[in-house]
Amino acid sequence: MRNIDIQSIKQRFGIIGNSPLLNYAIQVAAQVAPTDMTVLITGESGSGKESFSKIIHQLSPRKHGQFIAINCGAIPEGTIDSELFGHEKGSFTGATDTRKGYFEVTDGGTIFLDEIGEMPLGTQARLLRVLENGEFIKVGSSKVQKTDVRVVAATNVNLLNAVEKGRFREDLYYRLNTVPITVPSLRERGEDVYLLFRKFASDFAERYRVKPITLTPDAVEELLSFRFPGNIRQLKNIVEQISVLEYDREIDAAKLRHYLPREKGGSQVPALLAKEPGADQSFSERDLLYKVLFDMRRDVSELKKLVFELMTRQPNDHELLKEHGHLFENIEQVGQVRSYKSSEQPEPYYLPMQQASRDEDDYEEKVEDIPHETEEESLSLESKEKEMILKALKKHNNKRKYAASDLGISERTLYRKLKQYDIEN
């Protein structure tokens, strides 16, 4: 086994840190670089996986060939085959010219497939053929072409879980995972967090021509105790914010907390949607959907209770309540319609069978659907409605806007009612 100078590799590729996990990952990348073996890099988003693909390419005999990095999750499913393998003229709508794909362009070089777990199953089959035989076919062509490309793939999800769920080909997983490299998350790297903070502070001070920010001892402890779910990318953004916004260049723990999302050790990602490597994102989305549905159910139940109480406050609404009682099955004492003695007077309330937010057409449609036992009952409702309108107009000195608001209806509906009952304003 050849000797590997890890420190010189760090200096060459701008890698900061002395974590044993980081050093081991660099060592594996350097050892596998001179070969043509396929490499699968795993690690959380923002942990620096692309840097390892560049180490592998630059330390390999292919270093003079082309290196292309592709985010598989950023290419639409309908065009990814064309992007990777090329297409012939006229093979699909918009294909006005023959196009070379990345596997043809990088012949003799290295192609880095980031977020490989997002690749469609059909494209996975094409990729497997390239890895096994070095062959591919352009979209819209029947001619087999050869390519000599080294593939380095990366993912922040557990591909074995994706295999079990049928979202990733098992044969492709084992073909890619010839040599696995695990990039540690920032929270696993201990003191490296502070080293990176100082490096970023120096870089931003030079960029913005300001004095570098420094941390007090208590701020250093605060920094090292934070989990950084966004890893290096998140740390870099925080340092840039502080460098630009703070006038005092010495930052204590209290000031630092203003830039760290949530409480110490927390995450700015909602717990319901937190996505760790290997986590099933569809499970989180399903949980969120259930929560929304439960909230809607609770709101509907509250609305039922409100309507039930309004309907039971008027004797003329009892028959309507009986007919639609199935809507109130989960409300206590449904069906036990309150009876009024002739001497009792119900408390005044807004127009019967009227909702504030309905427009005129919707109101007419709903009122027509309500069954009436007798003509006398219908007339009594109209009489009461007219009486309430008159009272409201009198109360507000015939100002229709305020009368309509008091009655819980729109001004437009009130105007129609005035014409219907021949009420002169």
CA distance 24 to 44: 17
- Per-residue pLDDT, 111: 96
Residue 196 lies inside a defined structural domain of this protein: yes
Closest C-alpha among 204, 268, 256 to residue 231: 268
* Stretch among 88-102, 230-244, 265-279 having the lowest mean pLDDT: 265-279
Residue 1 lies inside a defined structural domain of this protein: no
Q: Residue 419, Cβ neighbours under 10 Å: how many? A: 8
Percent of the chain with pLDDT over 90: 51
From 138, 169, 184, the end of a domain falls on 184
The helix (run of H) or strand (run of E) holding residue 29 is: helix 20-32
Same domain? For 229 and 338 the reply is no
Mean per-residue pLDDT, 296-321: 65
Where would I find the H helices in 135-280?
159-164, 170-176, 192-208, 217-225, 231-245, 253-257
Same domain? For 293 and 227 the reply is no
Confidence label for 354 from pLDDT (cuts 50, 70 and 90) = very low
CA distance 407 to 392: 7
Closest C-alpha among 333, 319, 295, 326 to residue 380: 319
Same domain? For 327 and 379 the reply is no
Diameter over CA atoms, the chain: 104
Task: Please indicate whether residue 51 or residue 325 has the higher confidence score (pLDDT).
Answer: 51
Same domain? For 82 and 150 the reply is yes
The three-class DSSP label of residue 379 is helix
Same domain? For 195 and 339 the reply is no
Q: 28: domain CATH number?
A: 3.40.50.300
For residue 266, pLDDT over 80 is answered with no
Length of the chain equals 425
Confidence label for 336 from pLDDT (cuts 50, 70 and 90) = very low
- 157 CB-near residues (< 8 Å, 6+ apart): 117, 277, 278, 279
Same domain? For 316 and 389 the reply is no
- Per-residue pLDDT, 91: 79
Residue 391 lies inside a defined structural domain of this protein: yes
Burial of 305 (0-12, 13-18, 19+ CB in 10 A): middle
Listing DSSP states for 129-148 in one string gives HHHHHSEEE-BT---EEE--
Same domain? For 288 and 249 the reply is no
Query: What is the bridge-based pairing of β-strands 135-137 and 144-146?
Result: antiparallel
- Per-residue pLDDT, 272: 42
Percent of the chain with pLDDT over 70: 72
CA distance 308 to 325: 9
Select the highest-mean-pLDDT range: 216-220, 260-264, 366-370: 216-220
∠ CA 122-123-125, nearest 5°, is 70
Which amino acid does the sequence have at 376? E
Residue 86 lies inside a defined structural domain of this protein: yes
Same domain? For 169 and 31 the reply is yes
Confidence label for 9 from pLDDT (cuts 50, 70 and 90) = very high
- Per-residue pLDDT, 410: 84
- Per-residue pLDDT, 313: 61
pLDDT digits (tens, 9 = 90+) for 189-231: 999 999 999 999 999 999 999 999 999 999 999 999 999 999 9
Task: Please indicate whether residue 363 or residue 315 has the higher confidence score (pLDDT).
Answer: 315
- Per-residue pLDDT, 323: 59
Task: Please indicate whether residue 243 or residue 395 has the higher confidence score (pLDDT).
Answer: 243
Sign of CA dihedral 168, 169, 174, 178: negative
CA distance 307 to 236: 55
Same domain? For 31 and 61 the reply is yes
Confidence label for 328 from pLDDT (cuts 50, 70 and 90) = low
Q: 400: domain CATH number?
A: 1.10.10
Confidence label for 114 from pLDDT (cuts 50, 70 and 90) = very high
CB 419 within 8 A of CB 387: no
Same domain? For 420 and 358 the reply is yes
Q: Which domain holds residue 263?
A: 187-272
From 349, 366, 390, the end of a domain falls on 349
Confidence label for 278 from pLDDT (cuts 50, 70 and 90) = very low
From 332, 349, 366, the end of a domain falls on 349
Confidence label for 331 from pLDDT (cuts 50, 70 and 90) = low
Q: 200: domain CATH number?
A: 1.10.8.60
Q: How many domains does the chain have?
A: 4
Confidence label for 282 from pLDDT (cuts 50, 70 and 90) = very low
* Mean pLDDT, all residues of the chain: 80
Residue 256 lies inside a defined structural domain of this protein: yes
Same domain? For 20 and 144 the reply is yes
Same domain? For 339 and 356 the reply is no
